[in-house]
Amino acid sequence: MSTLPATGAAVKAADRRHVFHSWSAQGLIDPLAVAGAEGSYFWDHDGNRYLDFSSQLVNTNIGHQHPKVVAAIQEQAGRLCTIAPGFAVDVRAEAARLVAERTPGDLDKIFFTNGGAEAVENAVRMARLHTGRPKVLSAYRSYHGATAAAINLTGDPRRWPSDTASAGVVHFWGPFLYRSHFHATGQEQECERALAHLEEVVAFEGPQTVAAIILETVVGTAGVLVPPAGYLAGVREICDRYGIVFILDEVMSGFGRTGAWFAADHWRVTPDLLTFAKGVNSGYVPLGGVAISAEIAATFDKRPYPGGLTYSGHPLACASAVATINAMAEEGIVEHAAHLGEHLLGPGLRELAERHPSVGEVRGLGVFWALELVKDRTTREPLVPYNAAGEDNAPMAAFAAACRKGGLWPFVNMNRLHVVPPCTLTEDEARAGLAILDEALTVADAHTTG
Ligand code: PMP
């Protein structure tokens, strides 16, 4: 420890020398040097504390440094740090049991990965092998990860540089009433038209060539899009009709984020494969996985599953998942997230929308919300153009800077603020966060033209 640099400036200089950062122009970034974190806060080396309304990358559902999870990792490290996936170990079996118990329906076999993208890669591989079909359908407004298949399934512009390898991926439009692709005027119509569109895409691709339809239960990174009431059941029905595997990606929406263990619980739908990561252990140790239906698991009963990872079911990751899930259950954290969303965050954000002309729409549930920021509420023109960068993105950059200046770390994406604090956020912290957003939104309001 003594060899590590102690000041923020020294940490930043050391970082800039050797760390290559995700999604960034390496010469243009200025990362904050973080010194520590606890609960809903993290802080830098100069004593600036930030209320973490991002949950980092929407993963610290249980907050930072939860003592039970930290203790479980320490205890497991003393017992057994690593063991190959081919062995049976208590902590891996227990993590799988706790996940399987909470996933819907008969998703009772768990394949562990190191994160969300690997979970998506393996779910797609399972679906293709199970059906013997090549194609996978995914939504334009989606994010599924940054590895080969996952980035091609992703709908957002981060897919573009990798698109040369997108064989077998077909995109479709999901429901999103505020910017309806279907010119719908109500949720019911949006739902009907989105399902008819999907059905048409399946028909024109040839159902016998479609292995899977993958959807985020609640679309996360691409805008916190909550599906209309009958949509997921409708997709389930299309999948059943054509023998297509239904994959729900719950990497972001799972483990309390929506105020339920899984977002699928809200609509009582059961997919054939469910991907998870992030909240399963709040990201304390890298972990993700695929929950597999009995029927798909049976495909690989006598025939080997051709996939694996050195760290699949890593003991430290599994120990942290066991502790996280148990703590969430014991402390009523999922129920707390539901209550906070319904009684405080939702009403609080809607109240902000009434007073701030830059807020075009508020949507979400649990601790999973987005404010759609617009130049003009009538035309719904986004505050910044689609995929804006540099000067074009200045209004959003200024808004994010105002949040940070107020002591809140925001999650901003394109023209949206995602309000995604930990599930453990207290009511006082929620009120404090709303007050900071109230102030920061005046910066966004200054860029409105309506
Ligand atoms: N799927 C979804 C729905 C996600 O939100 C993410 C991450 N934001 C991923 C997959 C990829 O997960 P990871 O970054 O752990 O690979």
Residue pLDDT, tens place only, 346-379: 999 999 999 999 999 999 999 999 999 999 999 9
The CATH number assigned to the domain with range 68-330 reads 3.40.640.10
Output phi, psi for 335, to 5 deg. Answer: -65, -40
pTM of the model: 0.97
Q: How far is the CA of 5 from the centre of ligand 1 (A)?
A: 31
* 8 Å CB contact between 122 and 138: no
Instruction: Kindly give the pairing relationship between strand 411-413 and strand 408-409.
Output: unpaired
* 8 Å CB contact between 269 and 104: yes
Cα–Cα distance list, 42 to 5, 34, 301, 360 (Å): 18, 7, 46, 30
* Residue 202, ligand 1, Cβ within 6 A: no
β-pair partners for 370: 363, 418
* Residue with the two structure tokens 């990798």: 162
Enumerate the H helices of 228-314 as residue ranges: 231-242, 264-267, 294-299
Question: Which sequence spans correspond to the domains of the chain?
Answer: 32-65+332-445, 68-330
* Residue 440, ligand 1, Cβ within 6 A: no
* 8 Å CB contact between 156 and 141: yes
User: What distance in Å separates the CA atoms of residue 345 and residue 431, rounded to the nearest whole number?
Assistant: 8
Mutate which of 153, 278, 420 for ligand 1? The one with the most ligand atoms within 8 Å of its CB, which is: 278
Query: What superfamily does domain 32-65+332-445 belong to in CATH?
Result: Aspartate Aminotransferase, domain 1 (3.90.1150.10)
Residue 165 pLDDT class (50, 70, 90 cuts): low
Q: How far is the CA of 143 from the centre of ligand 1 (A)?
A: 7
State yes or no: pLDDT of 283 exceeds 60.
yes
Alpha carbon of residue 309 to chain centroid: 22
Confirm whether the ipTM is greater than 0.95: yes
* Residue 120, ligand 1, Cβ within 6 A: yes
Write out pLDDT tens, residues 295-346: 999 999 999 999 999 999 999 999 999 999 999 999 999 999 999 999 999 9
Pair of tokens at residue 359: 């807020």
* Residue 287, ligand 1, Cβ within 6 A: no
Pair of tokens at residue 45: 């080396």
User: What distance in Å separates the CA atoms of residue 110 and residue 277, rounded to the nearest whole number?
Assistant: 12
